[in-house]
Amino acid sequence: MSSAPIDTAVDATARARDFLGVTRLTNSALRGWLHGLPGVDHVGCDARAGDLGTRSIKNDAKLWAIDLAISMIDLTTLEGSDTAGKVRGLCAKALTPDASDLSTPRPAAVCVYGDMVPVAREALGTDSGVGIAAVATAFPSGRASMAVKLADTREAVAASANEIDMVIDRGAFLAGDYLTVFHQIADVKQACGPARLKVIMETGELVTYDNVRRASWLSMLAGGDFIKTSTGKVAPAATLPVTIVMLEAVRDWFALTGEMVGVKPAGGIRTSKEAIKFLVAVNEVAGEEWLDNKWFRFGASSLLNDLVLQRQRMKLGFYSGADYVTDDAPSLY
């Protein structure tokens, strides 16, 4: 399976022209293609989410799912009040999620503001296996010039971020200016260099499932390595029906192109029970190939605590108190 990156914005535009079968990439061409995608059956999507949400797994399979979910977390702090000490504490938690059981998997990454990347890198080192994701492009609003957005991205990558979580211009998208959104994603992808790009669509502001599907395809066409639901600053954030729409998009993109694209629901997923519902959806909708932290992530902070507590219960046969795990500041994450 390929995850061939798009190296430059020029390559993204050329590929998009080939994909759409046009000689010139225009708003009209993108609009015609995006609005030609099959509509989402809203009632059917909600019903499928409800059905998948009732599935249960037990015993060894549940412990496997808990460990997998832990390994998929982007452990997150994105507050204006973040300090170097708070980020170091987050990194310490990522390195040792459960001091009483060192077999507990580590999360995939910590997710911080760009100016905190050097602090996180110093705390994590270079061989811990825990990556650093930096939010960029004037997160969470996305209201800034492209010069600022690109500088934001390059600075985070230069500071050793492995991944960049960018926000799309929702105003441009909702106004039908798909070409602007396309070029912004492609340009940020180019600025990422070796770092992987997660494209935050802020699905709570996109309103309809059809818009979520269109934004997903536009993000992939422009070169996103991941499509991500939310900043965690807008409600609703990650919901199971929206994630199903996104999982269908990456599945269908792979069928057409042979390229795998990841999915990251972020915001509001706090319990093991909720996380397992999402993993069931990944398996049933996209396929087991996506049951890997290279292709699926949870943007979360408090979720790790509940997963650790559930893991302890399954190992020890009883629940530990909440004071056996570190606390997190209140957040949509």
Name the nearest CA neighbour of 218 among 34, 40, 71: 34
Query: Which ranges in 222-271 belong to alpha helices (H)?
Result: 240-257
Query: How many other C-beta atoms lie within 10 A of the C-beta of residue 234?
Result: 16
- The residue from 264, 277, 306, 328 that is catalytic is 264
Report residue 284 as tokens.
Answer: 């049933």
**169-200 CB burial, b ≥16 within 10 A, e <16:** bbebbeeeebbbbbbbbbbbbbbbeebbbbbb
End-to-end CA distance of the chain: 31
Size of the chain in residues? 333
Residue 264 known to be catalytic = yes
Q: What is the DSSP string of 162-199?
A: SEEEEE--HHHHHTT-HHHHHHHHHHHHHHHTTSEEEE
Would you put residue 202 in left (φ > 0), alpha (ψ -120 to 50) or beta?
left
Amino acid sitting at position 256: L
Find the Cα–Cα–Cα–Cα dihedral 7, 10, 14, 15, rounded to 10°.
Answer: 30
Helix (H, G, I), strand (E, B) or coil at 299: strand
Question: How far lies 82's CA from each of 73, 200, 332, in Å?
Answer: 19, 21, 15
The answer to whether 165 is a known catalytic residue is yes
Q: Which of 98, 228, 306, 328 is catalytic?
A: 228
- The question of whether 228 is a catalytic residue gets the answer yes
Catalytic annotation, pick one of 98, 165, 225, 306: 165
Amino acid at 270: R
140 upstream amide cis, omega within 30 of 0: yes
Which residues are catalytic, by number? 165, 228, 264
